[in-house]
Amino acid sequence: MQAIRGFYNNGILQLEKNAPAKKASVIVLFTDEEKKSKMPINEALKILHKYAGCIENDIDFEKERDEYLNEKYGNS
């Protein structure tokens, strides 16, 4: 997985640099600059930064789940 910053304007999504693949499944995170967002921009950027440059199957999902649960509920 790789994060690439871009801009959405009137139905057109433009990336700041070329995508790493010709065809891929993507998740687009819309930051709400005009309205108050449910997720603060610094939190969204923190998530994107964490996964920037990751390659699919290079993520230890169990470790990620455990880290998430520890952050949310604390160490047991």
pLDDT tens profile 22-42: 888 888 877 766 555 566 777
Amino acid (1-letter code) at residue 38: K
Tokens matching residue 69:
């649960």
Which residues are paired to 12 by β-bridges?
9
Q: What's the residue count for the chain?
A: 76
pTM, two decimal places:
0.38
The span from the CA of 52 to the CA of 17, in Å, is: 13
Q: Tokens 């801009």 identify what position?
A: 7
What's the mean pLDDT when you consider all of the chain? 76
Ranges of the chain with pLDDT below 70: 32-39, 53-59, 75-76
How far apart (Å, rounded) are the C-alpha atoms in residues 48 and 70?
Answer: 20
